[in-house]
Amino acid sequence: DVKVTQSSRYLVKRTGEKVFLECVQDMDHENMFWYRQDPGLGLRLIYFSYDVKMKEKGDIPEGYSVSREKKERFSLILESASTNQTSMYLCASTMAGGSNQPQHFGDGTRLSIL
């Protein structure tokens, strides 16, 4: 079974801090994604990566950056955290083959910015 592991289940940070969310997958998947999930807004794509060192903006990239130095690891960075970035963050991975491939999700990081 594919396992996608997010480093923290809960995280509390202060406004202005630089925040790192880490995600690791163990199935050699080419594609990795970061979403945020908010009540009434559903899942919104922040960034995705289709190869090491490759990244592409999603629908809401403002205030975020990403890093993919190794195939199995995809990091989401909040450059200067703000209260409107309080949310549930979900990481996912898929194998190559286009968007028909199922996405495998981690259990999420619930991030609170105070």
Residues lying near another protein in the complex (CB under 8 A) are found at: 4, 9, 31, 33, 40-45, 48, 50, 58, 90, 92, 94, 98-100, 102-108
**Smallest distance, Å, CB 22 to another protein?**
15
Region of residue 98 (left: phi > 0; alpha: psi -120 to 50; beta: else):
left
Smallest distance from another protein to CB 90, Å: 6
- 101: which strand partners? none
> C-alpha angle 88/21/49, rounded to 5°?
95
Please, which residue, 17 or 26, has the CB nearer to another protein?
A: 26
Q: Which of 17, 51 has the CB closer to another protein? A: 51
Positive or negative, the Cα torsion across 65, 70, 71, 75?
A: negative
